[in-house]
Each structure stands twice: as structure tokens, then as C-alpha cells.
Amino acid sequence: MKKFSSIFILIFSAAMLLQACGSSTEAAPDCKSADVFCVGMVTDFGKIDDKSLNQSVWTGIESARQAMGITAEYILTTDSKDYDKNISTFGESGYDVIVTVGYSLRDATARSAVIYPEAIFIGVDQDHTPKDVDPTSPKNLVGLVFLEDQAGFKAGALAAQMSTSQKIGAVCSSDIVASIWRYCEGFKAGALYINPGIDLNVVYHNDTSLDQAFIDPDWGAAMAKKMVEGGVDVLFGAGGETGNGAISAAAKEGIYVLGCDDDQFYLLPEARKWLLSSAVKLITPGVFDLIKSAKIGEFPGGTNYTGLTDLAPFHAFAKRIPDEVKNWMGVIDKGLLDGSIQTNVEPTKP
């Protein structure tokens, strides 16, 4: 994991910009001018500083703004009926790059890429492979995707090795969203790889609307407390504010926790004392790299761009995790990389 340490430091430093930023400009930019390079971001539900997907994407955009002098704005979506309208706000204004965040915006993003061929579209956590769209898929569209099952597998393997009770759990938002499915089923697979007899308790928030599934920290906290009462001593939280609510509640109960999407050591300080690591998608550098490629005319459009995943640094646990555990994690890293270890997790829920 040492090879990613500088990336995590970069992400943390850029994330601090959020404390002072709403939208990144005060006056409306002239994005139709050839001299102004504009990037617009359309969120799914949740806040811009959600300590999860939205925040990671915006941090990548802000990093690009600092490094390349671009202009950047965002629109927070409050109703799914507004997806197309929000995207068109940037399209009609002549934005060079439009970044849409989350699985639910996939179809609206694909439609908009055809309507606004002069703009470049980046769909974060959206599958835009040619098999899912017209064979003449627009070259101005790319899906930024990740192998979440591999990150979840590593988290599950770590959890199984650190558990004393051999009872571990995961509190996840909706499994309708492919990335959450891959994270949490990967967590299962990694735990079972270490101990086929381990007691696993994995729950999905499928008893509510998709709109609510990611922004329900109270439900996440309630599920975490229920698991702790049942003897779970390591818990994984996945899926926006819902997963974060579970992580914070479990840490308050004094059990090991694992974060998701971002390095939660920086984003959930209340959980630091018990946070082993986080299963992360390196969203910020992925967004940064794609914006840079768009600006220099080397955009890899027409399909997907696969970003990196890993476990975040152990931070406070760096010297407390046994060498045997670290060695096993090294074996798993190598096996996932060379294909000798497979997660066997379907890309989407069957």
C-alpha cells in the first residue's frame, strides 16, 4: 500500500478545499469562449461534502482547477426528474466537460452526450461500454468505473483476520446500485477466502426508495448497533451517508470498522480510534486524469475507463496489525493483480 501513500495525501490536501468552497467561481463564466475551459458537475442525491462519492469527484475537479486553471461549477440534484435539465444547464452554457455522478444518472448522461456533441462527458460509476449503448457510441462519453469487488474482497479478508469473535458484518445501501453490490459481495468473498466458516451478516437498505438508500445515517447506525449486540466485532459500512452512519455508530460501540469509497480516516474523525482501513476507489485521481486528458485532446471516449482500487493506509493501526495479517494481505494483493485469486462476484446483482 506504500505505493499509494502519495495519492492519498494528495486527496486529503485537495479535500480541504471543500471547507472553503461552494461553487468555485463567483461570476458566471463565459464557457463558450475558446479561452475559458469549463467543467460542470451534476450530482445525484446527497451533499457536495457527503464524505463519499460526490465529495471525491468534486475534490478531483478542484484539483484540476488548481493545477490547470479551469473554471468549475456544480449543481446539486434534489429530484431525479431534474437529471436531464441539470445536465442541459451546462450543455447549453457551452461547458467543455460535464461530469455526472452516480449510477442513476447513466441514461441521462448517455442521452445528453448525443444532444451536446461538442462537450465531453464523464459518467462516474456508470457503465458506458459499447454493449450497453449504440455501437456507434459517442466518442465524447466515458464511464469512470472501478473494480469495487476487489477492494471489498481485501476489506473482507482484513476483517476476517482481525475478528476475535469470528462474527463480522457489513451495512450497505441499495444493492440495485452495481458498485455497492460489488463492494459488499466482495467483502463476503474476501472474508470467506480467509475463513469459510465465518459468521457473516450483510444487510442492504432495500426497504426504502433508491433516493433515500444512500442518505439514511440513522438506519445505518441502527443496523450497526444491532450487529454489535449480536456479537459482530468488525463492521464494514458502504454507501454514502448510510454507510458512514453505520461506521460512526460501530466505532462508538468500540469495535473495529472499515470505511468505503474514500479514506474515512480523514473524513470521519470520530471513527479514527477504531478504523482499520477503508476500501477505496481512487476517484479523485481518476477524475483529475480524465479532465486532463480532455483538456489536452487525448480523451479516451466511447467506452469505460477503469480507475484504481485499494485499501487505504492503516494509519493508527500500522504498527498494531500483526505481520502475519499484513503478509496475507500482500498475498491477496498479488493474487488479485495476477488473476490467481478471483472474487467471483457478478458485476451486477443476478
Q: Are residues 22 and 69 in the same domain?
A: yes
Assign 173 to helix, strand or coil. Answer: coil
Query: Which parts of the chain have pLDDT scores under 70?
Result: 1-27, 131-137
pLDDT single digits (tens) 140-178: 999 999 999 999 999 999 999 999 999 999 999 999 999
Q: Are residues 243 and 333 in the same domain?
A: yes
Q: Are residues 181 and 117 in the same domain?
A: no
Tell me how many domains the chain contains.
2
Assign 229 to helix, strand or coil. Answer: helix
Q: Is the separation of the CB atoms in 262 and 135 below 8 Å?
A: no
Write down the pLDDT at residue 210: 87
Beta bridge partners of 100: 42, 123
pLDDT single digits (tens) 25-53: 456 789 999 999 999 999 988 889 887 88
Write down the pLDDT at residue 337: 93
Q: Are residues 240 and 188 in the same domain?
A: yes
Q: Is the separation of the CB atoms in 251 and 257 below 8 Å?
A: yes
Residue span of the structural domain in which 81 resides: 2-146+283-309
Phi, psi of 154 (to 5 degrees): -65, -40
Distances (CA, A) of 263 to 78, 191, 237, 327, 344: 26, 20, 12, 22, 25
Q: Are residues 180 and 327 in the same domain?
A: yes
- Residue 346 placed within a domain: no
As a whole number of angstroms, the distance between CA 272 and CA 251 comes to: 8
Q: Are residues 14 and 136 in the same domain?
A: yes
Write down the pLDDT at residue 136: 57
CATH number reported for the structural domain that contains residue 71 in this entry = 3.40.50.2300
